[in-house]
Amino acid sequence: MQVSLTVNDKAVTADIPPRTLLVDFIRDHLNLTGTHVGCDTAQCGACTVHLNGHAIKSCNVLVLQAAGGQVVTIEGVTPADGTLHPMQEAFRQHHGLQCGFCTAGMVMSAIDLAGRHASLDDQTIRAELDGNLCRCTGYHNIVASVKAGAASMHQ
Amino acid sequence: MYEFNYQKASSVADASAKLAASADGRLLAGGQTLIASMKMRLVAPSDLIDLAGVTALTAIESTPGGLKIGAMATHASVAASPLVSKAIPALATLANGIGDRMVRQMGTIGGSVANNDPAADYPAALVALGATVHTDKRQMPADSFFKGMYETALAAGEIVTAITFPVPKRAAYIKFKNPASRYAIVGVFVAQTATGVRVAVTGAGPGVFRVPAMEAALGANFASAALDGIAVSATDLNTDMHASSEYRAHLVGVMAKRAVECALAG
């Protein structure tokens, strides 16, 4: 079945079986492997991408549900000049990652929540990141990173 | 996931026709339960008929009968709706506690209600608030809509289109959630309505149920102390790796008291 959508500002059209998950389309068809598959059961959030401006779990959505939509992955948030997005930079500065497996999902969720809140306290960040799990358990620095990244985005 | 045919519905009538023409079709709302179930091969529909293009089903509006929420309104949109927050803040709080942020962005009220998961949050709100379920064929009170574990009064091919919630005097929903799945181990929705107090419990049993003893006690005195000494029987409640039936019975009392206090705090 044919599907057309926009991924990281590029129009994409492909012929796919209807059961293709958005995350598999992103990774296997577009070779954008920054988006990870962690639990594959919509709990861990490693597969988080933006669909039409909102964070969603791409392992629990069919690519056909995103047809005609705008998808942004971690590759799409980095400026063309090779510098980092302010949220990525904050994760680097504040040591917000250890093994890095959850990081792409954390950053995509964090950018979404920074966009919805003018200011963020620790409690709000922790509540909003409920759907992103870090099995290195590096949450303390992740919260610090999100706070700094959001402040930087709002400057 | 097994193979299936994917079809997009342009209207409720179109969805109904496509459903009737399919061998074993299912409606796709947000897919947050259905896609996961299909991945585990627990469900294998011949066709998925996607309602996402039926934008008429996403409306949230004030009506003389109360707050009317379209079946395809997402949990995130219900949580963020100023209309919902003003009329029934407990409902906005409930919607904001379903799953996580990303799940709420896709999951819908209609999908949750039609699926009737025994640990889902919305069934408690519908029953406690005395809501009406609108389908493409009829209207049903929530009390007769939910029929037990994953069962509803929906006939084959019948489509939930909206839910109307009468506005209560006071209400609150408190849940003790599973920290991984975020489903309710026990959730209690307490509402002081024009027709009396209603207490609805989700997560504890095979389906949502009311607690008449608590409703009578709170009807006489809407205070958490009125629930002192009212025990809920553990018979027929769920036992699993997360909680025994006795613990769930105990939690019903604790959550109900917290809900009353929360409702009073407004």
Of B28, B52, B101, the CB nearest to A55: B101
**According to the model, what pLDDT value does residue B154 have?**
98
Domains contained in chain A, CATH given: 2-75 (3.10.20.30), 86-154 (1.10.150.120)
Of A1, A56, A132, the CB nearest to B106: A56
Mutant choice from B8, B93, B100, B103 vs A, greatest count of A C-beta within 10 A:
B100
**According to the model, what pLDDT value does residue A130 have?**
93
Record the tokens describing residue A56, joined without a space: 């969603």
* Binary contact (A113, B101; C-beta < 8 A): yes
DSSP-assigned letters across all residues of B20-58: HHSSSEEEESS-TTHHHHHHTTS---SEEEE-TT-GGGG
How many residues appear in chain B?
Answer: 266
Q: What's the pLDDT band for B261 if we cut at 50, 70, 90?
A: very high
Residues B34 and B130 in one domain: no
How far is A43 from B189, CA to CA, in rounded Å? 25
Nearest-Cα distance to chain B for A44, in Å, is 9
* Binary contact (A42, B32; C-beta < 8 A): yes
- Between chain A and chain B, the number of residue pairs with CB atoms below 8 A apart is 74
Task: Give the pLDDT means over successive 10-residue stretches in chain A (155 positions).
Answer: 98 98 98 97 96 98 98 96 96 97 98 94 95 96 98 94
Q: Does A60 touch chain B (CB under 8 A)?
A: yes
Q: What's the pLDDT band for B94 if we cut at 50, 70, 90?
A: very high
Residues B138 and B221 in one domain: yes
Q: What's the pLDDT band for B180 if we cut at 50, 70, 90?
A: confident
Q: Which of B139, A32, A139 minimizes the C-alpha distance to B131?
A: B139
- pLDDT over 90 (residue B5): yes
Q: Which residue has the higher pLDDT, B184 or B179?
A: B184
Q: What's the pLDDT band for B140 if we cut at 50, 70, 90?
A: very high
Q: Does A48 touch chain B (CB under 8 A)?
A: yes
- pLDDT over 90 (residue B179): no
Distances (CA, A) of B109 to A103, B29, B141: 31, 9, 16
Query: How high is the ipTM of this complex?
Result: 0.95
Residues B33 and B78 in one domain: no
Residues B36 and B168 in one domain: no
Residues B24 and B84 in one domain: no
Residues B143 and B100 in one domain: yes
Q: Does A43 touch chain B (CB under 8 A)?
A: yes
Residues B67 and B43 in one domain: no
Q: Are A90 and A20 in contact (CB under 8 A)?
A: no
Q: B34 to chain A: nearest residue by CA?
A: A60
**According to the model, what pLDDT value does residue B266 have?**
80
Q: What's the pLDDT band for B181 if we cut at 50, 70, 90?
A: confident
- pLDDT over 90 (residue B66): yes
* Binary contact (A43, B181; C-beta < 8 A): yes
Residues B111 and B160 in one domain: yes
- pLDDT over 90 (residue B30): yes
Residues B28 and B97 in one domain: no
Residues B165 and B260 in one domain: yes
- pLDDT over 90 (residue B217): yes
Domain range spanning residue B177?
55-265
Question: How does strand B196-202 pair with strand B184-193?
Answer: antiparallel
Chain B residues touching chain A at CB-CB below 8 Å: 1-6, 28, 31-32, 35-36, 38-39, 48, 50, 52, 76, 99-103, 105-106, 180-182
Record the tokens describing residue B114, joined without a space: 């039609």
Q: Are B33 and B27 in contact (CB under 8 A)?
A: no
